Chains A and B, each alone.
Chain A
Amino acid sequence: MIAFLSNINIEPIKGFFEEETYFGGFNQYALELIDEKSRLHSKEITKVILFIDGEEFLRDLICEQLPNENILKEANERIIELLAMIKQYISKKGDVCFLINNIVLPVHSVTFNLKNRAIDFLDIEISMNKKIKEAAKSIHDLLILDWEMIVKSIGFNNLHDDKFWYLGRIKLNNKAFAAIAENYQNLVSAYQGKTKKVLVLDLDNTLWGGVIGEEGPNGIQLSEEGQGKIYREFQAVIKLLKQMGALLCINSKNNENDLETVLSSHPMMILKSDDFLVKKINWNDKAQNMKELAQELNLGLDSFVFIDDNPVERENIQKSLPEVVVPEFPKDISTLKSWFFESVIYKYFGKIYLGEEDLNKTDQYKTKLKRDSFSIGLTMNKFIKSLEIKLKIHHNPTEYIQRIAQLTQKTNQFNFTAKRYSEAQIRKFIEDDKVQVFGLDYEDKFGKEGLIGVAILKINQEKREAEMDTLLLSCRTIGKDVEYVFLGEILKKAQTYNILKIKFEFIETGKNEVAKTFYAQVKGKDEWEDLESLLIKSLEKTKINKIDIL
């Protein structure tokens, strides 16, 4: 259930949400945040949206005096106080995603043209929003609803309605409510790690104007002039998206030879051959190409977004592979860039953290593809040996909390329970004596993968029993017996706690077929298994192949 809190009446927003809603008392948010008996603290509330109208928040200050140093100071104090309340609320409540908007002050001010004023509304806004940003950076479950951006893109006057303010304390109109609801959806899907991984692109009339097979490499529209500039700017945005960790692939019906010239040496191409992870350039059915892409990258089809100007191709993909996201393509090509932001990036490629991982995502996957093709022709054992795998187990690593939470959020295929944990929850586990958190670090001769495995073990020392709450591995490393080594190492650690029996929790999600197969192999007849024999089983596997534990 979503709770809405505000210092203005925002109840009409209810119609824009499908989830159940609760509206806190008008201007009562501070009280409800503090009062642990308030509904806001009840279990059913999983998300909170606090909408602060800047003018009302500072009404007593800004409506009687001209902007000045004292107002700035007082405004800062107020927002700091509010953020402290929110922080306390989140940590007490736990298991809640809290959204607060950034502050926008009224557009109208009598100081509108003054050149010699030290402080104006903008200074106050910037200063308050900086505090909000800092708080969100340090509190994982606090997100910023970008009201400032909404106001910039749609316009203050288009979002506010004075009449309804005077009639019933409603300041915002339906356009504003719709924009907030959309922003909320995008933000929460980024928070939950539900965003997409791969952007698959068509070429002709998508990355440039015209058809290369007809016009030739020099005839396509891609330049700094006229229509060609549209495509060039579009490519620039795609390149930026790649830097945010999106993987780029091509799925296009062309002759490969025509294309190499363009991809490698057309002077106006911003995207180069290297930017693409896999290129499917052929005359096959695009749905077939798409399936192959998913297989080669070992990613679910629901990680893909497909962009093509041709409605027939879009329909084909959408019909045969409904999991793939296939956005409409703009009819008016001049809107290409803004369409791409609003209908593709914001919806499907949102992120709330950018890690080092993301920066060289394409390279990581290229390494994986190389490794996969290297494996052809070798027997399994030889292959694994030749990889020179080095593993490292991290026990309760506080420095990897963010990464561990991220893995629990994102991993689907090799995941025993698919339990999704926030950073705060992982931190709690690490601090708890009865819970042991393990991370697995992977490296081989092709490169470092970083932390790719997580196990969470709940220990009952009196009974000498342990329960495996979470066991997951990123699918990039599966199939090399790494899973057995990892399990074996955890069991060894469990022995140091004098554990005799162990139980695996397993939850079928429809996506964790890979984990199920492994589970079936290690699982014995009984619910509680003898740790020693299980350890021997997993060690047998690892004796064959040389895998180093650092």
Chain B
Amino acid sequence: MERFLSAVSAALGMDVSSLSINLSKNDISEWDSLGHLKLLLGLEEEFGIQFSMEEAGTLSSLQDIFNLIKTRTNHE
């Protein structure tokens, strides 16, 4: 979880302390359409996973992304 949030903060260029898992796209101003791509790019690299086109279009909360990464990587 910690690793996830710090990857999110790094990708969006914000302070990790201002993040929590229950935030979603509308709560974070940095998470705009470009931020969305930066976020997915950063997470793919950090966790060595791939989001599908469809997932990339629909994911909009940190919890959902976290769950998805969890099932992909089977750890944490």
Contacts and interface: CB of A to CB of B under 8 A. Distances in A.
A62 B22 CA distance: 47
Interface string A1-32: 00000000101101100000000000000000
Nearest to B50: A163
Contacts of A166: 53
> Binding site of A, secondary structure by majority: helix, strand, loop or mixed?
helix
Contacts of A175: 45
Chain B interface residue bracket vs A:
10 to 19
> Binding site of B, secondary structure by majority: helix, strand, loop or mixed?
helix
A174 B42 contact: yes
Interface string A173-198: 11100000000000000000000000
Contact of A174 (B45, B51, B53): B45
Contacts of B33: 168
B34 A174 contact: no
Contacts of A174: 41-42, 45
Interface in A432-451: none
A11 B34 contact: yes
A168 B53 contact: no
Contacts, number: 39
A164 B34 contact: no
B38 interface: yes
A12 B38 contact: yes
Contacts of B36: 168
B47 to A, nearest CB: 13
A168 B45 contact: no
B38 A15 contact: yes
Contacts of B40: 164, 167
A164 B35 CA distance: 12
B41 A170 contact: yes
Contact of B51 (A9, A163, A173): A163
Contacts of B23: none
A173 B42 CA distance: 9
A170 B38 CA distance: 10
Contacts of B42: 174
Contacts of A168: 33-34, 36-37
B56 A163 contact: yes
A167 B45 contact: no
Interface of B: 10-11, 13, 33-34, 36-38, 40-42, 44-45, 50-51, 53, 56-57
9 A-B pairs closest in CB distance = A168-B37, A12-B38, A174-B45, A174-B41, A167-B56, A170-B37, A11-B34, A164-B37, A15-B13
Interface of A: 9, 11-12, 14-15, 161, 163-164, 166-168, 170, 173-175
